[in-house]
């Protein structure tokens, strides 16, 4: 295999995703450079990178969004390629163009693809015009004067969404048309505030839907493959907190349809590099939701079931290599679950928390992977997204993976900053989760899980556990010694 044309790759990101990228760069024999704000000095990513270049801004977040500073840092590090990670500038076509114009390879899709599929309205129109399934909808910019009228015609329940951005920001569910105008005004205001774009569209809100997404990968030679689906239906406030692969909701026939549809959409868009096509799924039907033109937070579960390093594949494709495998070579093995560890208090409305990490011990063992961006002694602030780490497990079956994830969360020790660890643990023993009967509104309908009140019925967990042939006492009952000693101080 010919050598890669890159020597140093700048990571325009921070935290766990920066650490995760550095690990692959090391494996490929490439040097890593990273930009960092003073708020991140001493973090694992900065310590691990071969070169670290300080950037500044009015706020820490502003520093990571400063295109000119990041490109200057890439030149300073003599970087010949740049990986944007996720978030920040990862889906900014202007940034991708600026990087390429500066003579640096952008590890991601072409700017034109980001513009087409990163814009929800353009992507929706593109997918619909190419004959793929979309939910009934109304797009404001088609005719702003009749937008509200057309939205009413779609019928309730409706979901009002900003055209730009993601993460649930600005989204409003409308169940009574009398509240439609207020929902539009609020969504427009938040879209403008978060993304600088007040354009809106509405679509039919599917009751109790499941969130299914498909990882795709394309190269410059026209090859396009999917790496199977992920299910991300465990969400709070439209944000994913537990993801798994494969989805327990899909039959083999439906899985084939969803995955081939996703690959066909990406192929129609002439997409190159890694991307994710997202669908809402309900009533046996699936509808296109959006496409994310970057690496996803939850890419890890795909890596666990396929054994394919997606960051490495991104680098190979950017380097001009042809995919080294075809669809028939990609095999899904076992089941993977990822839980996102957040610095937040679920019982107080998921408010972000702060503090100094006094003790930090991660679970380990066969089939347990930790992607983390923090270390003991680090100060946790509200300057960035509250995600601290991801705990990913892999087992031969779904129920074994669920029990392994439950055990891993129980073994996690993080003292000094309140986290959602106990919340995640409670979800993992919910009967609905264990039986695979979850939907995106499940946590909202069951507030006792966030509040920490005792579950009304643990019989599902215990009954499922009893089905296993291996001893279940440890995952169900064991409390790490340090946890027990700390009593209620444990998160």
What per-residue confidence (pLDDT) applies to 479? Answer: 40
pLDDT, mean over the chain: 91
User: What is the per-residue pLDDT across 50-78, written as a single tens digit (0 to 9) for each?
Assistant: 999 999 999 999 999 999 999 999 999 99
pLDDT at 147: 92
Across 304-308, average pLDDT:
98
Give pLDDT, residue 217.
Answer: 98
Res. 118 pLDDT band, cuts 50 70 90: confident
Query: How many CA atoms, within 13 angstroms, populate the side-chain half-sphere of residue 360?
Result: 21
Q: Which tokens hold the place of 405?
A: 């994830």
pLDDT at 135: 87
Q: What whole-number distance in Å separates Cα of residue 309 and Cα of residue 15? A: 19
Order of strands across the sheet that contains 81-83: 51-54, 31-36, 8-11, 81-83, 105-106
Q: Closest by alpha carbon to 229, among 207, 249, 209?
A: 249
**Residue 235: closest CA among 401, 452, 427, 441:** 441
Cα gap 429→415, rounded to integer Å: 23
Closest listed residue to residue 279, CA positions, set 268, 291, 271, 269: 291
Q: 59-80: b or e for each residue (b if 16 or more CB lie within 10 Å)?
A: ebeebbbbbebbbebbeebebb
- Ramachandran quadrant class, 367 (left: phi over 0; alpha: psi -120 to 50; beta: rest): left
Residue 48 pLDDT class (50, 70, 90 cuts): very high
The whole-number pLDDT of residue 119 equals: 81
Q: How do 105-106 and 81-83 pair as beta strands?
A: parallel
Catalytic residue among 172, 199, 294, 410: 294
Q: Determine the Cα–Cα distance for residues 447 and 262; give it in Å rounded to an integer.
A: 34
Q: Where are the beta strands (DSSP E) in 45-121?
A: 51-54, 81-83, 105-106
Per-residue pLDDT at 93 exceeds 50: yes
Task: Delineate the domains of the chain, giving CATH numbers in brackets.
Answer: 8-107 (3.40.50.20), 136-204 (3.30.1490.20), 210-451 (3.30.470.20)
Q: What pLDDT score does 205 carry?
A: 87
* Selected residue with higher pLDDT from 355 and 463: 355
Say which residues have a Cβ less than 8 Å from residue 116's Cβ, sequence separation at least 6.
Answer: 122, 123, 126, 269
Strand spans (E) along 178-272: 200-204, 210-218, 224-236, 239-245
Ranges of H-type helices in 196-225: none
**pTM for this one?**
0.88
pLDDT tens track for 157-175: 999 988 776 667 788 889 9
Instruction: Check pLDDT > 80 for residue 477.
Output: no
How confident is the model at residue 485, as a pLDDT?
34
pLDDT of residue 483: 40
> Could you tell me the pLDDT band of residue 478, with boundaries at 50, 70 and 90?
very low
Q: pLDDT category, 461, cuts 50, 70, 90?
A: low
**230 flagged as catalytic:** no
**pLDDT over 60 at 455, yes or no:** no
pLDDT tens digits, 322-337: 999 999 999 999 999 9
């Amino acid at each position: 295999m010919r050598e890669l044309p890159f020597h140093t790759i700048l990571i325009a990101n921070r935290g766990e995703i920066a650490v995760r990228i550095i690990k692959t760069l090391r494996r490929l024999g490439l040097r890593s450079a990273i930009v960092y704000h003073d708020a991140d000095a001493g973090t694992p990513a900065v310590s691990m990178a071969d070169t670290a270049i300080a950037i500044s801004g009015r706020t820490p977040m502003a520093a990571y969004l400063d295109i000119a500073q990041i490109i200057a840092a890439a030149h300073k590090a003599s970087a010949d390629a740049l990986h944007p990670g996720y978030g920040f500038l990862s889906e900014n076509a202007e940034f991708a163009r600026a990087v390429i114009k500066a003579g640096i390879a952008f590890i991601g899709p072409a700017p034109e693809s980001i513009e087409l599929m990163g814009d929800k309205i353009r992507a929706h129109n593109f997918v619909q015009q190419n004959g793929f399934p979309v939910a009934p909808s109304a797009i404001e910019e088609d005719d702003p004067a009749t937008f509200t009228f057309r939205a009413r015609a779609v019928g309730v329940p409706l979901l009002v969404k900003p055209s730009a951005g993601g993460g649930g920001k600005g989204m409003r569910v409308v169940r009574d048309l009398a509240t439609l105008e207020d929902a539009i005004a609020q969504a427009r205001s938040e879209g403008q505030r978060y993304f600088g774009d007040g354009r809106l569209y509405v679509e039919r809100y599917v009751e109790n839907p499941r969130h299914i997404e498909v990882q795709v990968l394309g190269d410059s030679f026209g090859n396009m493959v999917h790496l199977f689906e992920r299910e991300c239906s465990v969400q709070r406030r439209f944000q994913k907190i537990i993801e798994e692969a494969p989805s327990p909701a899909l039959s083999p026939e439906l899985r084939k349809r969803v995955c081939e549809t996703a690959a066909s959409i990406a192929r129609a868009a002439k997409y190159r590099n890694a991307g994710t096509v997202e669908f809402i799924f309900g009533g046996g039907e699936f509808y296109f939701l959006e496409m994310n033109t970057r690496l996803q937070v939850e890419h890890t579960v795909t890596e666990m079931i396929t054994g394919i390093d997606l960051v490495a594949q991104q680098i190979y494709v950017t380097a001009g290599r042809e995919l080294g495998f075809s669809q028939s070579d990609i095999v899904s093995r076992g089941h993977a679950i990822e839980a996102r560890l957040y610095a937040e208090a679920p019982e107080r409305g998921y408010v972000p928390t702060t503090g100094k990490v006094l003790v930090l011990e991660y679970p380990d063992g066969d089939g347990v992977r930790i992607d983390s961006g923090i270390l003991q002694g680090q100060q946790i602030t509200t300057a960035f997204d509250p995600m601290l780490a991801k705990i990913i497990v892999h087992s031969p079956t779904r129920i074994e993976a669920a029990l392994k994830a439950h055990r891993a969360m129980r073994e996690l020790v993080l003292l000094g900053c309140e986290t959602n660890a106990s919340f995640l643990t409670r979800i993992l023993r919910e009967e609905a989760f264990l039986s695979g009967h979850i939907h995106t509104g499940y946590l909202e309908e069951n507030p006792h899980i966030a509040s920490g009140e005792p579950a009304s019925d643990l019989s599902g967990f215990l009954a499922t556990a009893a089905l296993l042939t291996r001893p279940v006492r440890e995952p169900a009952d064991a409390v790490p010694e340090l946890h027990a000693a700390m009593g209620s101080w444990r998160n």
